[in-house]
Amino acid sequence: MLTLEQLLLLIENDGWQDAVLSAGNLFFCFTLVPMLRHPDKPPVLTSIPTALALLAGGFVFATLHLWLTALTQTIQGLQWLALAFKNSRSDVVQVSNQIAGSILSAPEKSTPA
């Protein structure tokens, strides 16, 4: 982990953009934690594109040698992938429970004698 001295050295060496962008990304990383813990999740069609865009942005920032920003943006992308995985997994469980419930509660057909 970066110490305060290393962070100040980074800012002094014209790396202030990296520090500011990564601070913003850290803020968003922390704001995603309640969403990860909440039972309701955003739609998968929102989570996956957001995750892919953030991961692509992390790659772009790495090519610009903005390492802190690349790292924090990649973490954000992984958080969104976790949201998509949790959401899709709970959808599968919910659908399978509905199917099992409908099979178990279906009235048995009696054959005429």
pLDDT at 107: 59
Of the two residues 106 and 70, the one the predictor is more confident about is 70
Residue 43, token pair as written in the block: 């739609």
Report, as an integer, the average pLDDT of 13-40.
Answer: 88
Q: What stretch of H or E contains 92?
A: helix 67-105
Report, as an integer, the average pLDDT of 20-49.
Answer: 90
Report, as an integer, the average pLDDT of 46-57.
Answer: 95
Cα Rg of the chain, angstroms: 23
Does position 1 have pLDDT exceeding 90, yes or no? Answer: no
Contacts 24+ apart (CB under 8 A), 33-39: 35/83, 36/79, 36/82, 36/83, 36/86, 39/90
CB atoms within 10 A of CB 47: 22
Domain boundaries, the chain: 41-89
pTM (2 d.p.):
0.67
Report, as an integer, the average pLDDT of 79-92.
Answer: 78
